[in-house]
Structure 1
Amino acid sequence: EAAASLDIPPVIPIVYADVADLARLVPGDAPHQGLVAEVDPLEDMWLGDLLQQGEGDQRPLLVLDQVTDPHNVGAIMRSAAAFDALGIVTPDRHAPPESGTIARAASGALEIVPWVRVVNLARALEEIAEAGFWRVGLTGEATQTLTQAM
């Protein structure tokens, strides 16, 4: 019934299956709600490419360090999409991989906001500065507001 209400192009094959069969097709943390689509993984984005896209752009670029909870990363991505951020940069290590949990928490932002993974965050911050971005560090324990610090 639900498939009839979706505008699925005829070139995409549809295979009907039981709920149990669908559950076997996806990781345990991926909600399927009765529908599973097989898609290509998101393309990797390189920092240099993102910085080149943002040349002369005034949009913020978020850099996350040691944000390991996929729910938090997803929520940050959702906020980044709402504020039209250029992208998000995280270290390869100490950041969760793309997953159903992040996708669910991001509410679609995972497909909209470019996510760059870097090996060395310190080097990435230098590259970001060389591209003309200001670097502003924020912490939950700060005694000043952003306006006061600027």
Structure 2
Amino acid sequence: MRYEELTIEGRNAVLEAFRAGKTIDKVFLLDGCQDGPIRTILREAKKVDTIVNFVKKERLDQMSETGKHQGVIAYAAAYEYGTVDEMLEAAEKKGEAPFLILLDNIEDPHNLGSIIRTANQVGAHGVIIPKRRAVGLTATVAKASAGAINYTPVAKVTNLVRTMEELKEKGMWFVCGDMGGESMYSLDLTGPMGVVIGNEGDGVSRLVKENCDFVASIPMFGDIDSLNASVAMGVLSYEIVRQRLNKAGK
């Protein structure tokens, strides 16, 4: 994994980034512009399923760092993404049951960075994020991960529910954190497990929650009724670690 230039401006620069195979998370194009170079960029973006946003000139002017965007600005990932298959292969190589973290629309880069850091410490084999309505691997995320981004792969998927269904076919189970669930201490979370954490405001979305095998609540004794997303992920993940160690007699 390596750092990439983050904001790319101008038609030639963006086109070259696509053709060089850089991971582009999002492209912003001037709304209504249909000339040749813009159409070519649009075609390249569609080939790799990059999110395209058509925006007004004022928005591009606000986003621009150079003042020379020529109607196009792209956001490149700070780090390269991994794949779900690589995560499963890593678990198999280590002789461990797969342990994955799935994030349902986490939008705060500091939370994502903290989650990657904790995922590394709990021995998770990777983190899965959705392509839309979620933060990608920005420089802020990389910094907040405190180096863990170099060791714990992050995969970006088009559809979280479909990915869960495919993983279920391979024997995985899923637990999501939710206030209305059973106490995490009363659940058996020792098998091949995916921990699902919802976004900072709305929690886990209905469709994702319906695809979870367990809904776990974290006991709370204070005056407010929720935890930060990265803290909830850490607490639930360490309960899985505890149960796995107990089962192994360690």
TM-score normalised according to structure 2 size: 0.41
RMSD between superposed Cα atoms in Å: 2.4
Residue 134 (structure 1) shift: 1.4
Aligned length: 113
2:105 to 62, 66, 74: 66
Matched, 1:103 2:142: yes
Alpha-carbon deviation of 1:67? 0.9
1:48 and 2:52 equivalent? no
CA gap 1:26/1:60 in 2 versus in 1, 3 angstroms:
closer
Describe the SS at the equivalent of 1:138: strand
- Equivalent in the alignment of 2:183: 145
Asked whether the 8 Å contact 1:87–1:116 carries over to 2, the reply is: yes
Segments of 4+ moved more than 4 angstroms: none
Partner SS, residue 174 of structure 2: coil
- Tell me, what secondary structure is at the counterpart of 2:155? strand
1:25-82: CA deviations, max 9, x gaps? 887xxxxxxxxxxxxx644322233223334522420111011101100111110011
**5 Å matches for 1:54-133?**
54-55=91-92, 57-133=96-172
- SS of the aligned residue for 1:44 comes to coil
Quick one: distance in 1 between partners of 2:180 and 2:187?
A: 10
- The 3 A distance-change label for structure 1 pair 64 and 132 is same
- TM-score, normalised to structure 1, is 0.65
Identical-residue share of aligned pairs (%): 32
Tell me, yes or no, if the aligned pair for 1:59 and 1:84 is still in contact at 8 Å: no
SS in 1 for 2:87: helix
Instruction: Report the Cα distance in structure 1 between the residues aligned to 2:114 and 2:133, rounded to whole angstroms.
Output: 17
- Given residue 50 of structure 1, which amino acid in structure 2 is its aligned partner? M
Q: In structure 1, the residue corresponding to 2:127 is in which secondary structure?
A: strand
* Aligned-pair CA distance for 1:147: 2.0
Higher radius of gyration, 1 or 2 = 2
Between the aligned partners of 1:132 and 1:149, the Cα distance in structure 2 is 18
Unaligned regions of 5+ residues in structure 2, if any? Answer: 8-77, 189-250
Report 1 or 2 for greater relative contact order, CA contacts < 8 Å, sequence distance ≥ 6: 1
How far the C-alpha of 1:133 sits from its partner, in A, is 1.5
Q: Which has the higher strand share?
A: 2
In structure 2, the CA distance between the partners of 1:125 and 1:108, relative to structure 1 (3 Å rule), is same
